[in-house]
Structure 1
Amino acid sequence: MKKIVLIPLMLFLAVGLVSGVCNGEEKPRYGGTFTWNHNGGIPKIGAPSDNLGIAGNRNMYPVLEPLLITDEQEHLQPWLAESWETSPDGKSITFHLKQGIKFHDGTDFDAEAVKANLEALYKASIRGTGVLGKVASYDVLDKYTLRMNLKEYDCTLLLRLAQGSMGQMASPTALKKETTPENMAELHAVGTGAFVFDSWKRDTFVKYKKWDGYWQKGQPYLDAIKIQNISDLTVSVMSFKSGEAQAVENLDPVDARQLEKEGYEIYQPNLYFLHSILPGGANPNSPFHKKKVRIALAHALDRRTMAQGIGMGYYEPLSQLATKHDPWYNPDLKFREYDPEKAKKLLAEAGYPDGFKTKMVSDVMARRDTLVAVQTYLREVGIETELEILEFGAAFALPRQGWDGVYFPGFPNVGTLVGILDRWGVSDNYVGLYRPPGWQEKWDALIAQQDDEKRLAQLKEILAILHEEAVGIPYQGDAPQVVRADGLHNFNHHANHMVSYWTPHNIWLSK
């Protein structure tokens, strides 16, 4: 009898192992609700043309999918668009769309739908979509083929379609419906994604439920997703520890380190946000117009100690506008180490043996501990700074108006090619910076470049000039710290070197 019982038992265990584990890895399980806490706000839910605000795409990925995505090296990859090609003269881009995909309301995803979305975005003048003004017209060549006819080629057009809300597709049928703030989420949040809109309360939560008609068969795994906006980080972490949520984003480094000590997993993406100090070198009468003063500024800062102390080891000290994770990182650029004596020597050679006084302009988004540290380091080499803190409106306007002294942006530079270009590579932003001869022409040539490898070489050349001339002083990179619960799988925010990107259809819970 023992043998008769043992054989079925062994078979049962073998089947269980095969069904639950694949090549040593646990297979995805179905069911459950994933709850994610962040403090980035949920001001609107709808379509991109409804102007969802900064990082609005973060809250919409369960519903709205992009035409394209990128990989970690920022090479374009297909998503709703199966393939695309740019004409040799750069005058057109043709998209070949995946077939057989429908929006949640039954509308076909096709060339007319893409055209309707892009036209609605441009008409609404949504921030970041100005590049669509370089599109002269759209030609629907057949149901699943769309051609963009361009006034001029801009390499960021395809990247913006991949990396931001500009490429997220909503049902054109839904877009025709008039909305109010109260019903916009229900009427316009209609996409091709793995989840459909369920409910929402402004700046509190949004909930999505599984869509059985998703085009990727066998997905999603979850029954529902709930995104909660909790501004108080202590409350958010308590919610996580109680089991109410499985992830919390935008942790303070101190809290992240404590949670890690308690045994929790801390995740950081490869996409970093780049912090820089910006000397006002455009003014020929400013001390910062002199290269030696700008380099002195770089040597005055102990960036390694700041990254370790303030960032608790989660931040990366920078001496160039790239982290070691970025495809344009240049290992040949020498790190400008903390050297206050060298900084003083450079200041003396520039005509300031006793230092000088200047303004430091920052904003309410800046960390006060970092501001204090920077002021202290500058004071030690003889640069006395009078701090001025701007409110949001003035802070957003300042980079296009210019400044005297040193500008310390509270909100960092998104570490993507588009993020770097939007701040450093356009003539009407960061206007207070010293611009070396040929600076703008090099950026313009990069924008017009179709070849990925040549464009990468151009970017490295420009960033080498930025470093050599100390146009700006990068000092640290930080990637958001996210605590993830044991049993949560495939939740990777800011994945694929894309701001706010995540893949809701891939997420599953084993507990």
Structure 2
Amino acid sequence: MKETHTMKKLFQSGTPLAACLAVSALALSACGAGGDDPVNGEDEGGEATSTGENSDANISIGMFAVPANLDFTTTGGAAVFEALLYNVYEGLVQLDAEGEIQPLLAESWEISDDGQEFTFQLQEGVTFHDGTEFDADIVKFSLERLDEWSANTPEALAAIDSVEIVDDYEVTVALSEPDYNALFWLAGPLGAMFSPDSVDDLATDANGTGPFEFVTYENAVRMEFARNDDYWGDPAGVAGVELVYYEDASAAANAIRTGGVDAILRSEAFDQFESFEAEEEIEVRVGSSQGVVVMSMNPDHEALAQDEVREALHRAIDKESVMAAATAGYGEILGGPSVPTDPYYIDFTGTYDYDPDAAQDLLDSADVDDLSLTFNVPNRAYAEASAQVIQDNLSEIGVDVTLQTQEFPAVWVEENMVNQDFDLTIINHVEPRNMNNYAFPEYYWGYDSEEARDLFAEAAAATDDDEYASSMEELTELLVEDTPGVWLYNPPNVGLATEGVSGLPLNDLGVGIDLSDVTVSE
């Protein structure tokens, strides 16, 4: 991709990290303090280099979004499945480092001419960590159980009509109607395979087929994995992984500097990136993310149900100031609900320019004054910083905003995603193509448009990439026009690693964070 080559030139020429971060998310690649030297044990082509790997090593990785428990079938938020998927749990297919669909527990598949039947040939000799054999019965059980999910939008695979066992290692999944994204959704948490004997304990234990076995989770503190020595595929590169959870980006940054952790994923210490660039012992990697930081407006509120009011709030917000406060200016300003890596991305940043006078005129036209709103804010640094700027912006047009800080994920998820009890709220949606959640009126932001649902159905029925992208572009235009939310920015994915650590994922795909390729040199 041309943009990637541009980024490599920036890196190889010694361009400072800040300059790399300023490049479009489409161009995000590897940047570090090492000049022309390979980054994190990779050569310039991205291939692993020989580093005398220590297969008995354990690695400690700093994280931020905290899982409320281990059950992503009933618990919303990406923190649960991003830790467990591809590491402990696996599905029939997976997304590779470039976001392409690849075989996993299905070694191959065929799609019928009408796009409504997927026949999977399954890997043989695969067992769950408790010894349960993986076969076609497991696939049928896991996919039929989607009806029992209450989180992470199982509606995305509502087109599954039946799962028929052909033989022990062949299964046919039939759809009630074509769905262009069916394989894509199967590569995420909805496609995870479960042992029937384990589903009663999903909140407290994790039993999968993956390269790591779950060991323990101390809520909001740490999660531990151990290498699965009976894994059916290539063994994990380290003996154990410890995920350490931090509320504060600075605390995590101090931890990697003092040896408390070996790496940090999705670092939020934006104000310290330039100093990290100067430290030879710590390498910095910059990749793309699926993240959309969005302020949602609840249409159940009488004023927010009005198009003019929602547009007024959108025009009243200075997104550049929001991003400056939240990420020190690193990221991509968004004008719509998709990100630059989406195949249907359109740049809508000029649609609702920051214009307090125009915002005030819109409120006057809607005959709205003395508007008071409660803003539910998760206790995450980026969200709190963003909300403070937004509160100030809205006060300039006479809108009184009360900030209500909530513990994330426990309180925020329950109050907003479950109870839908908010006027305004904000979150970084890190799951891939999360724009598709606007297809579901029951989703927490409450967007209900028959026209939008028709366009989603049209996109799902597409027969090629161009047809799919065309429908999704038209849909994106409709969403921007309806403005159910204020799409603020797309943050970069920045990872930090100490010397000798390699194989960390570069791009944040919004599904599982695959740690099986991580290695530590002797």
TM > 0.5 fold call: yes
| Gapped regions of structure 1 (runs ≥ 5) | 1-19
TM-score for both structures, normalised by structure 2: 0.75
Larger Rg: 1
Aligned counterpart in structure 2 of residue 442 of structure 1, from 455, 459, 465: 455
SS in 1 for 2:516: helix
> 1:290 Cα deviation (Å)?
4.5
Question: Post-superposition shift, 1:190?
Answer: 4.0
* Mapped partners of 2:317, 2:78: distance in 1: 31
State which of 165, 168, 173 in structure 1 corresponds to 2:192: 168
1:449-489 CA distance string (max 9 Å, x none): 45443222211111122224544332222245442223211
Q: Is the 8 A contact 2:216 2:223 kept in 1?
A: yes
Paired letter, 2:442: D
Contact 2:89 2:193 in 1 (8 A): yes
User: Matched residue of 2:371: which SS?
Assistant: strand
Matched residue, 2:415? 394
Q: Does 1:463 align with 2:476?
A: yes
2:230 matched to 1:216?
no
2:236 is matched by which residue type in structure 1? P
Structure 2 counterpart of 1:275, one-letter code: V
Which of 49, 62, 86 is residue 87 of structure 2 equivalent to?
A: 62
The corresponding residue for 1:129 is 154
Q: Match of 2:256?
A: 240
Cα drift, residue 240 of structure 1: 2.1
Aligned equivalent of 1:311, options 327, 333, 336: 327
| CA distance in 2 between partners of 1:331 and 1:145 (Å) | 43
1:376 correspondence with 2:399 = no
Paired residue secondary structure (1:483): strand
CA distance in 1, matches of 2:123, 2:107: 5
* Matches of 2:400 and 2:43, distance apart in 1: 60
- What is the match of residue 477 of structure 1? 490
Q: 294, 303, 328: which one pairs with 1:276?
A: 294
Q: Conserved in 1, the CA contact under 8 Å of 2:253 and 2:269?
A: no
Is the contact between residue 198 and residue 207 of structure 2 (CA under 8 Å) also seen in structure 1? no
Question: What SS does structure 2 have at the residue aligned with 1:276?
Answer: strand
- The superposition leaves residues 360-413 of structure 1 with CA deviations (integer Å, 9 ceiling, x where unpaired) of 232141633322311322333x332242637633322464x7x7xxx4322233
CA distance in 2, matches of 1:89, 1:296: 45
CA distance in 1, matches of 2:314, 2:216: 50
**2:33 maps to which residue?**
none
Identity %: 21
Alignment of 1:332-351 (within 5 A): 334=350, 336-344=352-360, 350=365
1:27 paired residue number: 50
Q: Tell me if the contact between 1:139 and 1:148 (Cα under 8 Å) persists in the aligned partners.
A: yes
- The answer to whether the 8 Å contact 2:227/2:240 transfers is yes
Partner of 1:11: none
For the 8 Å contact 1:42–1:229, the answer to whether it is kept is: no
- Residues 279 and 433 of structure 1 are in contact (CA less than 8 Å); yes or no, is this contact kept in structure 2? no
Structure 1: distance between partners of 2:448 and 2:43: 57
Instruction: Give the residue type in structure 2 aligned to 1:509.
Output: V
Q: How does 1:285-434 map to 2 (within 5 A)?
A: 286=303, 289-291=306-308, 294-331=310-347, 334=350, 336-344=352-360, 350=365, 356-365=369-378, 367-380=383-396, 382-387=397-402, 389=404, 392=412, 393-397=414-418, 399=420, 407-414=423-430, 416-417=432-433, 419-422=434-437, 424-429=438-443
In structure 2, the partner of 1:12 is: none
Q: Deviations over 1:409-458 (max 9, x none)?
A: 222334522x2112x222233666585x7233223333444544322221
Counterparts of 1:311 and 1:110, CA distance in 2:
46
d(CA) in 2 for partners of 1:181 and 1:66? 16
Structure 1 residue 312, shift from structure 2 partner = 0.7
SS at match of 1:149: strand
Q: Secondary structure at the match of 2:324?
A: helix
Unpaired runs of at least 5, structure 2: 1-40
Q: Show the counterpart of 1:144.
A: 169
Work out the CA distance in 1 between the residues paired with 2:415 and 2:339: 29
Deviation of 1:34 (Å): 1.4
* Aligned-partner SS, 2:261: coil
| Residues 434 and 471, structure 1, Cα contact 8 Å, conserved in 2 | no
Q: 1:212 offset after TM fit, Å?
A: 3.7
Structure 1 Cα separation of the partners of residues 98 and 43 of structure 2: 29
> Contact between 1:278 and 1:433, CA under 8 Å: does it hold in 2?
no
The CA deviation at 1:40 is 3.2
Retained in 2: the 8 A contact 1:281–1:290?
A: no
Letter in 1 for 2:457: D
Identify the residue that residue 207 of structure 1 maps to in structure 2. 224
Equivalent position amino acid for 1:420 in 2: M
TM-score by length of 1: 0.76
Residue 146 of structure 1 deviates from its aligned partner by: 0.5
Relative to structure 1, the CA distance from residue 384 to residue 232 in structure 2 (aligned partners, 3 Å threshold; closer, same or farther) is: closer
- Report the residue type matching 2:291 in the other structure: F
Contact preservation (8 Å) 1:110, 1:144: yes
Shift in CA distance, 83/38, structure 1 to aligned 2, threshold 3 Å: same
Secondary structure of 2:102's aligned partner: strand
In the alignment, which residue of structure 1 is the partner of 2:108?
A: 83
* The one of 141, 158, 161 aligned to 2:183: 158
RMSD of the alignment, in Å?
3.8
1:508 deviation in Å? 0.9
Question: Residue type matched to 1:289 in 2?
Answer: Q
